[in-house]
Structure formats: structure tokens, C-alpha cells
């Protein structure tokens, strides 16, 4: 298998891990297996009589729920496969003289840290700062693998696009704003604040007088037996939700401006096409976000919202690479 094909497979696997992670989190299956890396002392969900007996002796305070345990274990299986693919990518890069060296090493270190975060997510009982960091790690991994794919593909715009150079900093700012919005989304999800407001465009009632910024964004929320279903009061969760909505407005405005500039001013067909792709994903993501509120967070739409964020990020990585790479 060529390095490019291996990277395509690794990128597809990364997207699958992000989707499975979102599904596991949003279906409240994050503690479907109370231990790590196995499940109730096994490397699969226990089902046989002797397995169930052992699981009950090891975890007498837990009840095995296969509908929650299996999504968690499948997520771990695919994540482990992703780790093996990243090792293969590193080996392949070192076999090719023209391939990058430092980037695949950093990617390997990142996925090892991701494994640690996955373990801490379980052992720290879904502590929001750990869950959010795990989410950010997945998106960072996706971005770096996309960058590595672009670097090994030899992609470039012949002659560059001088008319778009003035928008390099705008494109970079879009990445920063989108990452911040992804963090806010992760914080909203990990604190179970997605349904704290059910009206549009803001929140029901006199929400402006009930904001609790310090409580809402403190990374340390005390000691609790579990953080499943959240430990913050309503006003703190509402504050998180409102922040995510305002972040969405800023993100939409900035990314929309970049898409418009690319569509209207880029000379390169590649960049104009990328502008249309960015605009399309942005409209889709806005629609998914509104649907989550109006339809009260259906699981399929909530998971698709995570996928939309991933596609937006990959598109912005491509745009920045195209704009900043010297022709």
C-alpha cells in the first residue's frame, strides 16, 4: 500500500473514531465499561454465564448494560486500530526520503496521549475537562493527518494565487475561531448543557441576569462519584449554552466572509471550489445546530453536528495550506 493510500485509510479511521466517540458520549455510554482498557475485566462485553459472574464479583456496584457497553468497546477497538495505522504511517514516512519526519512522530505522540486521555475519561468518571481535551485531541489528530497527507501529495497551485494572499491571516483566524468553537461545543456536551436553552435565537426567560461565567467555565468542578449527566446547576449550564451560541454566530460570520472572498476573488479554480465547499459545510453545520435546539437533540443530528465540525476543520486546513504554501 502506498503512503497516500495508507494516509487516506488513516484519515477515514480517524473520522470513524470521532463519530464513534460522539455517539458514545451523546448516547450516555461513556461509562458503559467502568474499567479500561477492558470491559468488566474482559476484552469484550461479558455475556457468558462465567463472564457475567466474574464481572459481578469485580464490579458489584455496576449493572452490565450491553447497549452501552458495546458502543464503548467498539470505540476502543477502532481507536486501537487507528494507533496501529499511525505507527505504519510513521514507518512508511521513514522509508521514503522525501516524506516528512517530525510531523509523523508528533502524530504518534499525540495518539499515545489520546490513549491516556481515553483511559482518564473512564477512570475520572467523565470529568468534563478530560472529556473536552479528548475531543480536542481527536480533532487535532484529524488536522495533522490532513496536513501530512497534503505535504506528501505534492499539492500546489501552479503560480500561486496572488489575489488571495491578503486573506492568509483571515484564513488562519478562521482556524483559531473554529477550534475555539469546537472547544465550546465539547464543553457544552461534556457538561450536558445542550438542552439548557430550547428557544431561538437566545434563551428563554431573563437569561442575561442569570449568567454564571465563573462557575460555567471553571475546569475544576469539585470531587464527585461521577460526572455523568453533569454536576453544574441550570444557570451555569445555560451560560455554557449561550456562550456556544454566540461563538457559533462569530464563527459563522468569519467563515462566511472567508468563503465569500474565495468564491468572488480567487483566480484559482481550486480555491474557488474550496470556497464553495466551505460555504456548503457552513450552511449544513448551521442547519444541524438549529435542528439540535428545535428537535431537542436527536442522537443522529447531534452526531452529524460533530461530523460537520470535522469537515469544516479539514476544509480550513486545506485552504490554509493552499494559501500559505509557497508555489
**Residues identified as active-site:** 72
Residue 90 burial class via C-beta count within 10 angstroms: exposed 0-12, middle 13-18, buried 19 and up: middle
Contact 107, 67 (CB under 8 A): no
Alpha-carbon distance of 9 to 14, in angstroms, equals 9
Q: What CA–CA distance (Å, rounded) separates 92 from 106? A: 15
For residues 215 and 174, the answer to whether their CB atoms sit within 8 Å is no
Helix, strand or coil for residue 191? coil
Handedness of CA 181, 183, 189, 193 (dihedral sign): negative
Q: Degrees (nearest 5) of the Cα angle 103, 104, 105?
A: 90
Neighbours of 33 (CB within 10 A): 29
Please count the other Cβ atoms lying within 10 Å of the Cβ belonging to residue 218: 14
The answer to whether 227 and 221 are in contact (CB under 8 A) is yes
Radius of gyration, alpha carbons of the chain: 21
Amino acid at each position: 500500500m502506498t503512503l497516500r493510500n495508507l494516509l487516506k485509510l488513516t484519515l477515514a479511521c480517524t473520522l470513524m473514531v470521532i463519530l464513534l466517540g460522539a455517539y458514545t458520549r451523546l448516547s450516555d455510554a461513556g461509562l458503559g465499561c467502568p474499567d479500561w482498557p477492558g470491559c468488566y475485566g474482559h476484552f469484550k462485553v461479558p455475556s457468558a454465564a462465567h463472564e457475567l459472574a466474574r464481572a459481578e464479583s469485580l464490579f458489584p456496584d455496576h449493572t452490565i448494560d450491553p447497549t452501552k457497553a458495546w458502543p464503548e468497546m467498539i470505540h476502543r477497538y477502532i481507536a486501537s486500530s487507528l494507533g496501529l495505522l499511525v505507527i505504519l504511517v510513521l514507518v512508511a514516512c521513514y522509508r521514503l526520503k522525501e516524506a516528512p519526519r517530525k510531523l509523523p512522530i508528533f502524530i504518534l505522540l499525540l495518539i499515545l496521549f489520546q490513549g491516556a486521555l481515553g483511559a482518564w475519561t473512564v477512570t475520572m468518571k467523565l470529568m468534563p475537562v478530560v472529556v473536552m481535551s479528548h475531543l480536542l485531541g481527536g480533532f487535532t489528530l484529524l488536522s495533522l493527518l490532513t496536513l501530512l497527507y497534503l505535504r506528501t501529495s505534492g499539492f500546489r497551485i501552479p503560480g500561486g494565487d496572488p489575489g488571495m494572499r491578503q486573506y492568509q491571516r483571515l484564513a488562519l483566524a478562521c482556524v483559531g475561531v473554529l477550534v475555539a468553537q469546537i472547544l465550546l461545543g465539547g464543553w457544552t456536551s461534556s457538561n450536558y448543557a445542550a438542552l439548557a436553552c430550547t428557544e431561538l435565537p437566545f434563551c428563554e426567560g431573563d437569561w442575561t441576569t442569570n449568567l454564571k461565567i465563573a462557575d460555567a467555565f471553571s475546569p475544576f468542578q469539585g470531587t464527585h462519584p461521577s460526572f455523568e449527566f453533569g454536576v453544574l446547576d441550570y444557570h451555569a449550564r445555560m451560560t455554557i449554552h449561550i456562550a456556544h451560541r454566540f461563538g457559533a454566530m462569530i464563527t459563522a460570520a468569519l467563515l462566511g466572509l472567508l468563503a465569500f472572498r474565495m468564491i468572488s476573488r480567487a483566480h484559482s479554480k481550486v480555491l474557488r471550489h474550496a470556497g464553495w465547499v466551505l460555504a456548503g459545510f457552513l450552511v449544513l453545520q448551521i442547519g444541524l445546530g438549529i435542528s439540535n435546539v428545535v428537535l431537542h437533540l436527536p442522537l443522529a443530528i447531534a452526531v452529524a453536528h460533530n461530523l460537520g465540525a470535522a469537515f469544516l476543520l479539514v476544509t480550513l486546513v486545506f485552504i490554509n495550506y493552499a494559501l500559505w504554501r509557497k508555489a
